[in-house]
């Protein structure tokens, strides 16, 4: 039954999150920052509450009058902050509930996570206690109802046995001492909430307690607009204990229990709350299973990338990413929720359970190639994985840069030559020929493009960008982007680089897969590499060979280089007299025995998946085949070796 509920909730969350990803991008999708948003809302509640407390007076008549003065005479600040205080408290309850429900839906509360789950339940209880206590302070009709109903409910417990309600039999029984106590509670309870929040995140590696700035400004703007449009006021005048409260408007976020307290027997309400609390608290251990589960054992994960190797333990139910970050390994990540694709890895050994994720982060083609998202993969046995970016420095992250568009020129009808220029005074980017950068879009999405120029020449970055139908970024490049525009990018990234060796080199490029090959070849010429190099460049139509003249120039100037253009879909009248068919098949026809060669292959996933097995069948060593497969709008290129 629980699994069916979780499956339904997962289905709902994934589709709602996908809508938010399309609207805002995964980087500022609020569903991926619910915990951080809750922290931020707490500080909004605390800050606005401190200001209100400066003008609040304790006393049976002073309390009501002081709150009314704040709301009416100081409406331009105190009144707005009172409303912000109320709405931020409601929003905090909402984000906490969604956060807890999401972790339940995706089964992220078992194993070592039981601690965060239990402290989360305690945190929700304390937030409700603090919120209910806050509604007692204005001493209007709503405060009377909340106070009397709360104390009646507590009085049902044998420990009090009616002692609390004796304070409310007559109005003169309520004095300044009670308000001093209530005020002290409204300071003490939030401090306890803050302490529990701190404890709650202690077992979460690299826990984020501050949401991205766009979310911060969006929340503040929303709270201010709501506070001005629908200001909060006291209800029904000053409290009068000689008369029962007849009509009030409840805050259904913080006071949903009170109608039940008013209508049900007190014992039933206590039974409902205690029962639901126990059921929620026991979830990490339900249902009880006596069979041995390999996913409940501690496993070892070996990860390597960019010449760095690390090994760490993964606890039962823990993802590879959480375990690596907890062990101090510098893994690349962003959303931690299976949406951005930055934590993608190549699984080389071992089996794992893969939690739900967005298809935009991991395509079916990538998954079929043995790739996984570290934030969603839970090992079932010892594993070995490869990643693009790895550092033993836990604080290491991919550096983000800003550059201006210095030049744009069409190389063919659907390929644009874009030159990015770093700011004056900033050193040239230290990259290796064959690497790539991630263009960061306004909504946080990323598009990967390889360097088309060799390193060490200038601080310019050359890209070959092919127009993709309905592509968010490529449409911008071809229709609206102009020289002088600024772009943000991350990099350098990737390991598709020329290895040291002595054997002949064969390059196979599909369409704009020529870009990293161009960078590698020009760098090899500059470094004086004398190994034999032959480039097979495959395109659909002759006009797609947008830099064939340059390749033929290389061929004339360098005895160790040659180029073989291949057109797969020649048309009558285009005058093509060269090789036709699939580019990798042309190479196979020329080299029946590939032993002793190195092959560098860059193009679509389909081309790579077709070519690599054929190369190996024809004698190529698996350790001598290097590929860079691009998946449109699905994160980083897939690099294998």
List pLDDT tens digits, range 203-217. 787 788 999 999 999
Q: Which pLDDT value is given to residue 176?
A: 67
Q: Which pLDDT value is given to residue 26?
A: 81
Give the Cα separation of 352 and 357 in Å (integer).
15
> 328 pLDDT band (50/70/90 cuts)?
confident
The DSSP element (H or E) to which 95 belongs, if any, is helix 80-105
CA atoms within 13 A on the CB side of 64: 16
CA angle 58, 61, 62 (to 5 degrees): 45
Give the Cα separation of 452 and 202 in Å (integer).
45
Give the Cα separation of 195 and 191 in Å (integer).
6
Task: Give phi and psi for 140, each to the nearest 5.
Answer: -100, -170
Q: pLDDT tens across 97-124, in order?
A: 999 999 999 988 888 889 999 999 999 9
Q: Which one, of 102, 111, 124, lies nearest residue 33 by Cα?
A: 102
Give the Cα separation of 46 and 57 in Å (integer).
18
Task: Give phi and psi for 325, each to the nearest 5.
Answer: -65, -40
Given a cut of 80, whether residue 518 has pLDDT beyond it is yes
Q: Do the Cβ atoms of 432 and 455 come closer than 8 Å?
A: yes
> 532 pLDDT band (50/70/90 cuts)?
very high
CA atoms within 13 A on the CB side of 516: 33
Task: Give phi and psi for 369, each to the nearest 5.
Answer: -85, 0
Given a cut of 60, whether residue 395 has pLDDT beyond it is no
Q: Which pLDDT value is given to residue 287?
A: 77
Beta bridge partners of 410: 416
Percent of the chain with pLDDT over 90: 59
Q: Which pLDDT value is given to residue 634?
A: 42
Q: pLDDT tens across 257-287, in order?
A: 999 999 999 999 999 999 999 999 999 988 7
Q: Do the Cβ atoms of 402 and 487 come closer than 8 Å?
A: yes
Report the SS3 class of residue 354: strand
Work out the average pLDDT over 9-37: 90
Tokens of 256: 């949903």
**For residue 301, what are the contacts with CB-CB under 8 A and spacing of at least 6?**
311, 312, 313, 314, 320, 323, 324, 350, 379, 382, 383, 384, 385
Place of tokens 């390193």: 455
Tokens of 288: 């009880």
Given a cut of 90, whether residue 37 has pLDDT beyond it is yes
Tokens of 631: 């998946």
Place of tokens 């690497």: 435
Task: Give phi and psi for 460, each to the nearest 5.
Answer: -85, 150
Mean pLDDT, the chain, whole residue set: 88
Given a cut of 60, whether residue 291 has pLDDT beyond it is no
Where does 335-387 show beta strands of DSSP type E? 344-349, 352-354, 371-373, 377-379, 383-386
Q: How many residues does the chain have?
A: 641
Work out the average pLDDT over 622-630: 78
Q: Which pLDDT value is given to residue 637?
A: 47
Q: pLDDT tens across 583-602, in order?
A: 999 999 999 999 999 999 99
Given a cut of 60, whether residue 640 has pLDDT beyond it is no
Give the Cα separation of 14 and 303 in Å (integer).
29
Task: Give phi and psi for 180, each to the nearest 5.
Answer: -65, -40
First to last CA, the chain: 45
Given a cut of 70, whether residue 173 has pLDDT beyond it is no
Q: Which of 159-173, 355-369, 468-482, 489-503 has the lowest mean pLDDT?
A: 159-173
> 469 pLDDT band (50/70/90 cuts)?
confident
Work out the average pLDDT over 296-307: 82
> 444 pLDDT band (50/70/90 cuts)?
confident
The DSSP element (H or E) to which 122 belongs, if any, is helix 114-134
Q: What share of the chain is helix, strand, coil (3-state, %, to 5)?
A: 45, 20, 35
Q: Which one, of 536, 542, 639, 628, lies nearest residue 590 by Cα?
A: 536
- Give the single-character DSSP code of 428: P
Give the Cα separation of 91 and 219 in Å (integer).
10
Q: Which of 60-64, 152-156, 231-235 has the lowest mean pLDDT?
A: 60-64
Report the SS3 class of residue 166: helix
Q: Which pLDDT value is given to residue 492?
A: 86
Given a cut of 80, whether residue 581 has pLDDT beyond it is yes
Spell 14-24 as b/e; 16+ CB within 10 A means b: beebbebbeeb
- Selected residue with higher pLDDT from 395 and 141: 141
> 427 pLDDT band (50/70/90 cuts)?
confident
Given a cut of 90, whether residue 292 has pLDDT beyond it is no
The DSSP element (H or E) to which 53 belongs, if any, is helix 34-55
161 C-beta neighbours (distance < 10 Å), count? 9
Work out the average pLDDT over 65-73: 93
Work out the average pLDDT over 470-480: 90
Where does 360-474 show beta strands of DSSP type E? 371-373, 377-379, 383-386, 390-391, 400-412, 415-421, 436-440, 446-450, 460-466
Q: Do the Cβ atoms of 607 and 631 come closer than 8 Å?
A: no
Q: Which pLDDT value is given to residue 290?
A: 46
Given a cut of 80, whether residue 311 has pLDDT beyond it is yes
Beta bridge partners of 493: 436
Q: Do the Cβ atoms of 82 and 45 come closer than 8 Å?
A: no
Q: Which pLDDT value is given to residue 391?
A: 62
Report the SS3 class of residue 13: helix
Give the Cα separation of 457 and 37 in Å (integer).
45
Q: Do the Cβ atoms of 337 and 33 come closer than 8 Å?
A: no
Task: Give phi and psi for 163, each to the nearest 5.
Answer: -65, -30
Give the Cα separation of 612 and 609 in Å (integer).
6
Given a cut of 90, whether residue 539 has pLDDT beyond it is yes
The DSSP element (H or E) to which 44 belongs, if any, is helix 34-55
Tokens of 578: 């060269």
How far, in whole angstroms, is CA 101 from its chain's centroid?
18
Rounded to two decimals, the pTM is 0.73
Given a cut of 80, whether residue 239 has pLDDT beyond it is yes
Q: Which pLDDT value is given to residue 560?
A: 94
Beta bridge partners of 506: 534, 599
Q: Which one, of 406, 445, 442, 446, lies nearest residue 423 by Cα?
A: 406
DSSP string, 555-608: HHH-TTEEEEEEESS--TTS---SEES-HHHHHHHH-S--TT-EEEEEEEHHHH
> 495 pLDDT band (50/70/90 cuts)?
confident
Give the Cα separation of 498 and 256 in Å (integer).
65
């Amino acid at each position: 039954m629980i699994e069916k509920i979780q499956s339904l909730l997962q289905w709902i969350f994934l589709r709602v999150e996908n809508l938010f990803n399309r609207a805002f991008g995964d980087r500022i999708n609020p569903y991926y920052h619910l915990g951080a948003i809750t922290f931020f809302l707490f500080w909004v509640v605390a800050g606005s509450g401190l200001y209100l407390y400066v003008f609040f007076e304790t006393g049976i008549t002073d309390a009501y009058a002081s709150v009314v003065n704040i709301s009416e005479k100081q409406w331009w600040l105190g009144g707005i902050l009172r409303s912000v205080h109320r709405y931020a408290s409601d929003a905090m309850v909402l984000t906490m509930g969604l956060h807890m429900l999401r972790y339940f839906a995706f089964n992220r509360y078992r194993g070592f996570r039981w601690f965060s789950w239990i402290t989360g339940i305690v945190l929700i209880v304390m937030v409700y206690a603090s919120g209910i206590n806050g509604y007692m302070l204005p001493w209007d009709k709503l405060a009377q109802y909340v106070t009397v109903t709360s104390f009646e409910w507590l009085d049902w417990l044998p420990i009090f046995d009616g002692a609390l309600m004796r304070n409310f039999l007559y109005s003169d029984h309520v004095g300044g001492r009670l308000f001093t106590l209530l005020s002290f509670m409204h300071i003490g309870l939030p401090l306890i909430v803050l302490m529990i929040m701190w404890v709650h995140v202690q077992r979460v590696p690299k826990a984020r307690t501050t949401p991205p700035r766009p979310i911060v400004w969006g929340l503040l703007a929303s709270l201010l607009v709501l506070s001005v449009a629908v200001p909060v006021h006291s209800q029904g005048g000053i409290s009068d204990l000689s008369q029962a409260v007849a009509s009030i408007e409840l805050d259904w976020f913080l006071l949903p229990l009170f109608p039940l307290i008013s209508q049900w027997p007190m014992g039933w309400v206590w039974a409902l709350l205690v029962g639901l609390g126990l059921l929620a608290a026991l979830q990490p251990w339900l249902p009880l299973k006596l069979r041995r589960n390999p996913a409940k054992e501690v496993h070892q994960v070996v990860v390597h990338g960019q010449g760095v190797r690390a090994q760490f333990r993964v606890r039962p139910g823990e993802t590879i990413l959480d375990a690596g970050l907890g062990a101090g390994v510098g893994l690349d990540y962003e959303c931690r929720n299976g949406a951005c694709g930055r934590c993608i890895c190549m699984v080389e050994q071992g089996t794992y359970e893969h939690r739900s994720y967005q298809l935009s982060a991991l395509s079916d083609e990538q998954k079929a190639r043995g790739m996984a998202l570290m934030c969603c993969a839970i090992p079932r046995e010892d594993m070995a994985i490869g990643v693009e970016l790895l550092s033993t420095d836990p604080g290491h992250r991919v550096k983000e840069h800003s550059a201006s568009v210095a030049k744009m020129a069409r190389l063919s009808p659907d390929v644009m030559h874009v030159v990015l220029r770093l700011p004056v005074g900033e050193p040239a980017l230290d990259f290796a020929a064959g690497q790539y950068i991630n263009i960061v879009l306004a909504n946080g999405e990323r598009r990967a493009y390889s360097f088309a120029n060799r390193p060490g020449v200038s601080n310019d970055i050359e890209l070959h960008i092919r127009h993709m139908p309905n592509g968010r970024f490529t449409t911008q490049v071809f229709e609206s982007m102009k020289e002088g525009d600024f772009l943000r990018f991350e990099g350098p990234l990737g390991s598709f680089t020329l290895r040291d060796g002595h054997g002949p080199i064969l390059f196979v490029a599909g369409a704009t897969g020529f870009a990293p090959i161009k960078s590698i070849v020009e760098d090899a010429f500059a470094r004086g590499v004398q190994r034999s190099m032959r480039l097979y460049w495959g395109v659909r139509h002759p006009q797609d060979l947008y830099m064939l003249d340059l390749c033929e120039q290389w061929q004339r100037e360098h005895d160790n280089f040659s180029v073989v253009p291949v057109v797969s879909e020649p048309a009558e009248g285009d005058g093509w007299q060269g090789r036709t068919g699939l580019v990798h098949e042309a190479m196979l026809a020329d080299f029946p025995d590939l032993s002793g060669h190195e092959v560098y292959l860059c193009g679509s996933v389909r081309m790579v998946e077709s070519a690599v097995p054929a190369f190996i069948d024809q004698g190529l060593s698996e350790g001598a085949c290097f590929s860079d497969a691009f998946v449109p709008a699905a994160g980083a290129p897939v690099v294998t070796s």
